[in-house]
């Protein structure tokens, strides 16, 4: 039996490969606003809420930038896909009596609009959205909110958070949770030496966690 009772997942570039679509769309939107940014500049900010990303990238009106982004992301939906092995990973965790949930920086309306692209949305129904908390990753609040709303009786110490970004790791540790880096979606150059786990493939995570 695993030492963990709950595994929480980030969404973008952890369960879904969304970076290519997100980066391409944000570049288009910012270009229309007269701002040229590189893929690397955007990629380093993934994990932050959209408005904060837009602010960092110099958008004159970050709220409008995010609104335009959400309206245009569908143009690049062909670039979104679930990572290989994600469904198998989730099913193995559930089969071994681990609960699962999602903590994302997406707003609820955006998640619901894009959920048709998320095959796992049919088997994970407990989701924390950006709208649910005033403070966001790398703050601990979204993860602690998940425990309070959906998983009462499970402690931070019994929870593993899985994500691709340094903001995810900081959020997990701020919430006193262990962190697993989703190496299959993370930026290779980022330093995850403080992560409790670094996994190269989803099924590797499931095999390891269920045996602890």
Q: Is residue 160 part of a domain?
A: yes
3 state SS of 19: helix
Residues 69 and 132 in one domain: no
Q: What's the token pair of residue 104?
A: 């994302």
Residues 126 and 202 in one domain: yes
Residues 90 and 175 in one domain: yes
**How far is the C-alpha of 65 from the C-alpha of 54, rounded, in Å?**
7
Residues 115 and 196 in one domain: yes
Residues 66 and 93 in one domain: no
Q: Is residue 151 part of a domain?
A: yes
Q: pLDDT, tens digit, for every residue of 66-105?
A: 999 989 988 998 898 999 999 999 999 999 999 999 999 9
Residues 59 and 160 in one domain: no
- Contact indicator for 202, 89 with CB cutoff of 8 Å: yes
- Exposed, middle or buried, 157 (CB in 10 Å: 0-12/13-18/19+)? exposed
Number of domains in the chain: 2
**How far is the C-alpha of 101 from the C-alpha of 14, rounded, in Å?**
13
Cis status of the peptide bond prior to 68, with omega within 30 of 0: no
Residue 47 pLDDT > 80: no
Residues 193 and 155 in one domain: yes
Which residues form the domain of 182? 6-17+80-209
Residues 40 and 114 in one domain: no
**How far is the C-alpha of 109 from the C-alpha of 131, rounded, in Å?**
9
Q: What's the token pair of residue 171?
A: 């959020």
Residues 52 and 97 in one domain: no
The stretches of the chain forming alpha helices (DSSP H) are 19-32, 39-43, 50-56, 62-72, 86-95, 108-114, 141-150, 166-174, 202-209
Q: pLDDT, tens digit, for every residue of 156-203?
A: 999 999 999 999 999 999 999 999 999 999 988 899 999 999 999 999
Residues 178 and 164 in one domain: yes
Q: Is residue 121 part of a domain?
A: yes
Residues 174 and 146 in one domain: yes
* DSSP per-residue codes, 145-191: HHHHHH-TT--GGGEEEEESSHHHHHHHHHTT-EEEEETTTS-TTS-
**CATH number for the domain harbouring residue 105:** 3.40.50.1000
Record the pTM. 0.90
Q: Mark which of 64, 79, 94 sits at the end of a domain.
A: 79
């Amino acid at each position: 039996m695993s030492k963990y009772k709950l595994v929480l997942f980030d969404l973008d570039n952890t369960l879904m490969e969304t970076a290519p679509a997100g980066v391409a769309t944000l570049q288009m939107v910012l270009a229309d606003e007269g701002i040229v940014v590189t893929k690397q500049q955007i990629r380093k900010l993934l994990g932050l809420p959209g408005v904060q990303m837009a602010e960092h990238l110099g958008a004159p009106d970050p709220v409008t930038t995010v609104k335009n982004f959400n309206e245009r992301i569908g143009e690049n939906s062909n670039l979104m896909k679930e990572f290989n092995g994600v469904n198998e990973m989730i099913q193995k965790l559930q089969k071994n009596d681990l609960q699962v949930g999602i903590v994302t920086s997406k707003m609820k309306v955006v998640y619901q609009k894009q959920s048709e692209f998320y095959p796992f949305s049919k088997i994970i129904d407990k989701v924390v959205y950006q709208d649910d908390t005033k403070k966001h990753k790398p703050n601990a609040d979204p993860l602690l909110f998940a425990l309070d709303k959906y998983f009462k009786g499970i402690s931070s110490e019994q929870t593993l958070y899985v994500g691709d970004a340094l903001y995810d790791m900081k959020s997990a540790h701020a919430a006193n949770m262990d962190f697993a880096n989703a190496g299959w979606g993370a930026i290779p150059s980022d330093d995850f030496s403080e992560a409790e786990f670094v996994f190269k493939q989803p099924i590797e995570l499931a095999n390891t966690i269920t045996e602890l």
